[in-house]
Amino acid sequence: MPVSTVQDSSALLFNTIEDIRHILDERSYVADEDFSAALFLLLKLGKPLLVEGPPGVGKTEIALTLAQILDTKLIRLQCYEGLDVNAAVYEWNYQKQLLGIKLQEGTAFTVEEKEKHVFGSEYLLKRPLLQSIMEEDRAPVLLIDELDRADEEFEAFLLELLSAFQVTIPELGTVKAKHRPYVILTSNRTRELSDALKRRCLYHWIDYPGLDKEMLIVRKRLPGIGQGLLEQVVHVVQQFRERKLAKVPGVSETIDWAESLMALGYREINQQAFDSSLGSILKSAEDIQLVRSEGLDAFKQTA
Amino acid sequence: MNQQAYSARGITESIVAFAQFARGHGLNIGLTETQEALRAADLGLLGDKNRFRFALKSLFCHSPEECNLYDWLFTLYWDTNPTDLRDRKNETRLQGMVEKKANATLVMLGQGKSEAAEEDAKTVTGANEAERLKKADLAKISEIDAAALEKIAEKLFREMAVRLRRRMKQDRRQGQINLRRTIRRSIAFGGEPLDLLRKSRTPKRQRLVVLLDVSGSMDKYSFFLLRFICALKENFRQMDAFVFSTSLVRISRALQLRRLDLVLDVISRQAGDWSGGTRIGLCLQEFRERYGKQVLNGSPVVLVMSDGLDTGDPMVLEQQLSAIRSRCKKLIWLNPLKGMQGYQPIAKGMKTALPLVNDFRSAHNLESILELENILEDA
């Protein structure tokens, strides 16, 4: 098995940070210069990129966009509590194995041969992590989403994968990546990730965008939106974030809200529009109550 | 170590020196990071200062706090004009980086000792010394006994931690069939799955959040309770601990490093505010706002250790407690005063809190503290 981990030609197209920023912009992803720099290093150094930030600021989105840009496969692993190696790396297809054993009963194979057959690659179920390093044609983008939800044990396991890009399956041997995947890890910071893992990654913190940037993002996503509505929506959302809300709305909620207002046919936010669509921006009963009690006018004022 | 870029000779040297400089100021940078910084410089990022800065940022920082520190360090290192600054000794010290030697005296021990109280404790005549001490009210123990008790406590707490761990490993008989192992084994029998191997349910580690009141009124209790928290930390890896009196301090990190002296230091620095009284409600509010999102995840067990003598607004306390209650699996309140004869939870704070807690227990002597083990075991 060839053990080359050379960069793909597609990644070599980007020679400067500006290139990356430009092409992200084309794909409707608004990235700051510092984020473009982090992505540039991800492509050039082949180091995994850990993206942290509050929910709904486009952490997952960047992996999707990157896969599009590189014209490669996106392999996604959603983390959850109790996620184990079997669900993340590989599992044997037990039912098929049992069947295989039964079918071989009459044959003259020795026990060793039977074993070898049953633990062959056709009985192997590849889970996302194994898939990502067995990719034949080109390096895929591997998205490990919401890593903070997984257990610490899993994090420790990831360390091995992220540094060597190889997986050892006792029955088959070691599989080493032909093409080193571009790894993006995301975390909402519901718990602190281990220092060891962080040190293996590039780090970028995405925060809620400022007024101008958020307007730019919403415009990119919803090209049909009127300027008046856009300004109002983004301004009100920015005001929301100032309040002590239980669930602070992210950019994706802003887009949702603007979209639902457009779908409802409003060209500006008035009381009726506010009341009927609040559910698409605020996702907690207390928050809605709080905002209602303050009234629309409190948020519309420009400070 | 160079303090500014101008004093280095070449670009490589100044980058290496910058890495050292940043490391000296608390960023976690090793050789790998330095190497990668050089590689990044090689990729043509040097042309633009901002780009270079952002690139190194993603290499050198690992949390938003570090990002802020980095920005400051970067400016300090690369943008300082030689005429502005003579080569000074490294005076910039960051809070928390200072190695505090254990000069923190045990603030809670041995204060307000009284003869009468000591006798009171001694009247609990029991089988032997250890038994007596275990039952003695912690507030009424003499200094001599305190040393002995500390030893006993340490031993008992350690035993408890071991017991808790062991119990979590049992329970192998039940659970789903582990097909992987079963099939592996069946090969020895020519493919007949004779032995059914089962998956032991991996014990879900319960998360634990401890909030300890270290105000003056908790005085001596808090020292032993702190010991207890340390012992718990051994078992509950996902544990977060906070101490509060007038304000809230997170001590998880110090506990992880087993630096009890650091914790005591923090507490003794706070001791000045004792006269202000405990504001439980406000501290809980601070807890929720600053750490709630991070700590109250995955329905933890929340343990509040306080005497409930609150000088704040009971409305705030009620509000905060019910908010915490809605996000945790179990809310346990330990009150050392409960062990007193004839104690009634009539203190303003305690009265408000009582309907909201799942379990209300005493924690006035070692025995009662150790009883907690049973609750936490099936927590």
Paired tokens of B246: 């007038």
| pLDDT higher than threshold 50 for residue B70 | yes
Q: Summarize the confidence of residues B88-114 as an average pLDDT.
A: 39
Rounded to whole angstroms, how far apart are CA atoms A294 and A297?
8
Whether B57 sits inside 8 A of A34 (CB atoms) is yes
Q: Which tens digits make up the pLDDT trace of B30-40?
A: 888 899 888 88
Using a CB-CB cut-off of 8 Å, the residues of chain B touching A189 are: 294
CA dihedral A41, A43, A44, A45 (to 10 degrees): 70
Q: Which of A215, A134, A214, A213 is nearest to A181 (CA)?
A: A134
Backbone dihedral angles phi then psi of residue B347, each to the nearest 5 degrees: -60, 140
Which of B51, B67, B297 minimises the CB distance to A37?
Answer: B51
In whole angstroms, give the CA distance from residue A137 to residue B361. 63
Q: What is the DSSP letter of B363?
A: -
Sort residue A169 into left (φ over 0), alpha (ψ -120 to 50) or beta: beta
List, run by run, the mean pLDDT of 10-residue segments along chain A (303 residues): 45 76 88 90 91 90 92 93 85 85 82 84 91 90 92 84 87 88 91 85 93 92 91 92 86 93 90 88 87 83 57
Q: Which of A191, A206, A207, A290 to mutate to test the interface with B (most CBs of B within 10 A)?
A: A191
Predicted pLDDT of residue B121: 42
Please enumerate in sequence order all residues whose Cβ is within 8 A of that of A253, keeping only pairs 6 or more positions apart, or say none.
A56, A237, A280, A281, A283
pLDDT at B235 over 90: no
How is residue A173 annotated by DSSP? E
Contacts of B199 (CB under 8 A, 6+ apart): B175, B176, B177, B178
Beta carbons within 8 Å of A230's beta carbon, 6+ residues apart: A215, A218, A219, A258
Cα separation, A189 vs B364, in Å, equals: 37
Residue A251: its pLDDT value, please?
Answer: 93
What ipTM does the predicted assembly reach?
0.73
Q: What average pLDDT does range B142-160 have in this prediction?
A: 72
Instruction: Supply the pLDDT for residue B104.
Output: 35
* Apex B27 CA angle, B22 and B31, nearest 5: 75
Chain A stretch 132-171, residues whose beta carbon is closer than 8 A to a beta carbon of chain B: 151-152
Mean pLDDT along residues B139-162? 71
Contacting residues for B285 by C-beta, under 8 A, at least 6 apart = B316, B320
Residues in B touching A40 (Cβ below 8 Å): 43, 45, 55
Of B96, B18, B83, residue with least CA distance to B53: B18
